[in-house]
Structure 1
Amino acid sequence: MTAEVAVLGAGMHPWGKWGRAFVEYGVAAARAALADAGLDWRDVGAVVGADTVRGGYPGYVAGATFAKALGWQGARVTSVYAACASGAQAIDAARARILAGLTDVALVVGADAAPKGFFRPAGGDRPDDPDWLRFRVLGATNPTYFGLYARRRMAVHGDTPEDFAQVKVKNAAMGALNPYARYRKRVTAEEVAASAVVADPLRLLDICATSDGGAALVLSSVEFARRHGAAKPVRIRAVSTVTPRYPSTVLDLPDIATDSAVAVDPPDEPFRASLARAAYEEAGIGPEDLSLAEVYDLSTALELQWYEDLGLCGGGEGAKLLREGATAPGGRIPVNTSGGLASFGEAVPAQAIAQVCELTWQLRGQAGERQIPHARVGVTANQGLFGHGSAVIAVR
């Protein structure tokens, strides 16, 4: 039997560039999630905050920061950081506390106030940090990496810039229907092609922005949810945060080298696919059971890779799946019904939580014009810095 926790409430602060502190966005999302759950802040026994590295010291102790802002009431606090997977790790920490019987109700919150332009490694010069080295030695900012990945897909699988543009067209159409999205305007393939080149072959509209925003969830034991009147709540059935199995996942430099003495045979699947497989195994389902998916579309080309890594199609068949309309509303497996990062931009600690908010609303039948009929099972996926990544499965 799978171990499940209930999603009693979901709330968000709209994404944008608001110029205010991250705490304000998180508190607004938390209050919205509590209202959605029909609970008072004093009913919460544990708070898990997803940290931001851009909010000063309060960002490094996000759990306590949000608890203080909501009003000290004795809840236990936890703060976690895992780059883009921070929100999912926060969900996992809250889930573990609930399943251990240590609390009935937990609040998960993530929020960010992102700088304009490229994300820069925080904390000054760090020559022992592969991310810092990638930026400073190679000049490989995130868009550069995205462009190289897109070129690889073109060379290996025959993807085209027109395929990448269609991902943006699809996601922008859904984001136009989402009141929390930063960009709420449909775009055409011609507009994508006419936007400025950032990292060939990717253009400005192929790459996600940086944003402010917040998201929150109220989680509980299934028993508490039923006592609270939620006879059949959305449940989180799996959270995967597995690490890669390759022995050389970081640059082989002093102080950060991977210990080859514990190396294992490399798997037949890439790291992102192993994240999904672990989630499917824990949930006792397969990709054929999915109703929808929310994936981390840092670039349009990366969304196509997620199709394959989630097992929605075979290797190299992502663009074909897109062209067939399978990942659009009305298709076999709609992807990024929220509008994705194409419509939101990155608010790093909030985004993995926001993905689960979208699954919750879809599985409840509360997604409005974005609603996927008869949605029963959804998966989220993202990959963060180093070996951090996540996949969450929710069911109704």
Structure 2
Amino acid sequence: MEIKPLKLGEREARLPLIQGGMGVGISLGGLAGAVAREGGVGIISTAQIGFREPDFDRDSLGANLRAVKKELDRARAIAPEGVIGFNIMVASRCYEEYVKATVAAGADIIISGAGLPMDLPKAAAEAAREAGRETEPALAPIVSTEKAARVVLRYWDKKYKRMPDLLVVEGPLAGGHLGFTREQLDQFVEPGQAASEEISPAYEEEIRAIFKTVLSFEEKYETRIPVALAGGIDNRERARKAFDLGADAIQVASRFVTTEECDADIRYKEAYIRAGKEDIVIVKSPVGMPGRAIRNRFMERVMGGEKIPHSPCHRCLHTCNPAEIPYCITDALVSAAKGDVENALLFCGAGAWKADRIETVREVIQSLFIGS
């Protein structure tokens, strides 16, 4: 497996590795800085990033926007020359304000999913002008199917006359919210349910179809559009398979949870280490999307139909109706980040049960690349 640098707009990462953005206190400046220092792309999630700010319950948006700059500065202090950016969910309320804040803070790249980031080029360009930046950050949509890739590329082509600087293809073995229906998950994952270790041949064909679509736009624009594969890449063999399929980079998330540098509470990390394969389940989030998480007392209550009381709305997702949801996803994820693991939603990837110890970021990266 040949390891080549990953060029992202004006910046270049020494390793073709992106650390996945894990929301609400998991991917913050500490983890992103550590990954960037080792040569990968460090990613901070904007999802309720300001949950530790003293005014978070009163002014969630203000707390979050303030924390964007704090966390990027923290990552820069760790990796002054590293490539560091943000993951912003399209489903976020005030999406454009998060784009503006990350651009103004000095992000090198914005990765955006949980919906299709159709107008990200406009938002980023306007934010760069307002911030007086000479160059915009690299822009990277997340897609899961060929149809989604085609829709985004065609729209960016027609409306903005530009292509993404990176396309992230997040497969069915990823953690957290998934870009698939439950029926698609059954189609794209080998038998074994939530903790299945392999994508199906059908999803490999979907990946090849995405590459074919990308190639058509590369030819039109006479440029390279790097593609990163994500979901279930947790060892050297899986990394090699991703590159053999044609990927320019890999995106890895769950492996970084059980590192010393991860920003999560130690009890969150230990929940991964304790989990068995049978504990990985597909759950329905309050906003209707399927997701992958670790079974715990909280999930048993939710899956049993219990409606769990929640705090006043923190205005996280624009599709959420507080009067109808069975539980508040912000409350559940904040509890996870703070270590109250039995009363929390513990998002994870399909292979999270394999974690058996706390490692360093460097050890994880070596396990993915060195000796290959």
TM-score (norm 1): 0.28
Highest relative contact order (Cα 8 Å, sep 6+), 1 or 2?
1
TM-score (norm 2): 0.29
Which structure is larger by alpha-carbon Rg, 1 or 2?
A: 1
